[in-house]
Amino acid sequence: MRIASALIFFGLFTCLSDQTAKEAWAGAFAVREQSTEFQGMSFAGDAAAGGGLSGMFWNPAVAAYAPKGWSAEIDGTGIFGNLDIHSEAGTTKLGFPGIAADSGNMERLSMVPAGYAAYRLSPDAVLGLSINSPFGLRTDPDRNWVGLSHNRFSEITVFGATPTLAFRLMPSLSIGVGLQVDQMHVNFLRAAVSVPDAPDIKVEVDGTGVGFTAGVNWTPTPQTSVGIGYRSQIEHTLKGNVSVPGAPILFAIGNRVESDVTLPSIATLSLRQGITDKFRLLGTIEWTQWSVFPKIVLTCPDLGLPFCTNPSHLASSVPLNWEDGWMFSLGGEFDATRQLKLRGGIGYELSPIQVPTNRTTLLPDQNRLSLSGGASYALNDGVTVDLAYSHFWGLGGKTDRTDPVIPLPPAPPVPVPERVLGTVDESADIVSAALKIRLGGP
């Protein structure tokens, strides 16, 4: 009966996971919103044992502290984002008839599901499973804006499952390892020519990649827990098609396209420290190796078509030149009653994009500050409900991006540089809820 309940629980999560993350509210297009509990502390302490199962995302050794028998957790996060690019003098299409000066809000409501389950195989071994969307992006500007030939719509979705094994080597030391299996899908639209209502160039590719997770947790005293977790790089060979549906014959193409993408490794160091019997202080430092993603390159296996042989367009590389990203957070957790826990936290993130010329209209990321609050309420010994809220502020950034664009026929298809220069305005309200269930067992 308990096994059946666990399967039903995860079946529900699988249905929800069709709505994988469409917004990125960590550096670049990483999605950190994998836990309601840690959302309430701006992700302070997320890799240190002592909380719920969702810590497995950052550190698989956390699974070693799962309760006896079956336990499971399902998290859902709603992101209400605002992202605008306000163009300035120097933008190529600024003032052109039928073309808007600003992007409009490029982000919409997005849902991020996450699920976790664990079963204690023995006093010292636990089998776990997490299902997440660790990376995601969606930017949807006004169709006829000054950057129409740079970006009309961009979407990246990564959906992954990570089976995990965790072991307690001694009472104070645990380790964990896991296998990451990710499915990545990319959908990208830009104007075929730089005029209002021009047909879209559409690129759609997907692929599967495999990586690993590893971690260790040390509890030198009952009040202290230190965790270090690592999520490896994952290499994807994305395959699909490029097309310009409904366009004049010159642009009406359909062609295979490929791209090799390496998703970054992530290392997380966290501390959970008891200050009193009821209050705990938590902290996290996280590093993401975005420098392994220096550019986007699309190649065409089938030669002979204009968009694949002309280096001015999709076959050329798009330089990114990103740096590694960093996140720092500090939070606290207070036992208000036997059933109620209260949380709060502050976070600061250094974006991998620090130079305006590297801040593309696809991903105008910038440094961020977050403030968070949350609570947990135990309905009984086996069921707990978590709630959390965060507000993010973008700390200011400009984009100064020049990309080559194919001119309108009958002009020769020679690349013409078009510039988007502007200020990025970004903020978000994030609401999260989770249900934790302890199913028990032998």
Looking at residue 362, its pLDDT comes to 84
For 7-59, write each residue's pLDDT tens digit: 334 444 444 444 444 455 556 789 999 999 999 999 999 999 999 999 999 99
3-class SS of residue 65: helix
3-class SS of residue 413: coil
Beta pairing class for 383-394 and 416-440:
antiparallel
Asked whether 85 and 102 are in contact (CB, 8 A), the reply is: yes
DSSP-H helix ranges across 282-396: 306-309
| Number of domains comprising the chain | 1
Q: What domain range is 197 assigned to?
A: 2-440
For 233-258, write each residue's pLDDT tens digit: 999 999 988 777 665 544 445 577 88
- Residues 397-406 have a mean pLDDT of 81
3-class SS of residue 358: helix
Q: Can you read off the two tokens belonging to residue 50? A: 């002592």
* CATH code for the domain in which residue 10 is found: 2.40.160.60
Distance CA 23, CA 29 (A): 8
DSSP states of 136-202: EEEE---TTBTTTTT-SEEEEEEEEEEEEEEEEEETTEEEEEEEEEEEEEEEEEEESSSSTTPPEEE
> CA 277: distance to chain centroid?
35
Instruction: Kindly list the distances between the CA atom of residue 225 and the CA atoms of 64, 136, 164, in Å, as whole numbers in the listed order.
Output: 13, 31, 20
For 193-239, write each residue's pLDDT tens digit: 778 888 888 889 999 999 999 999 999 999 999 999 999 999 999 99
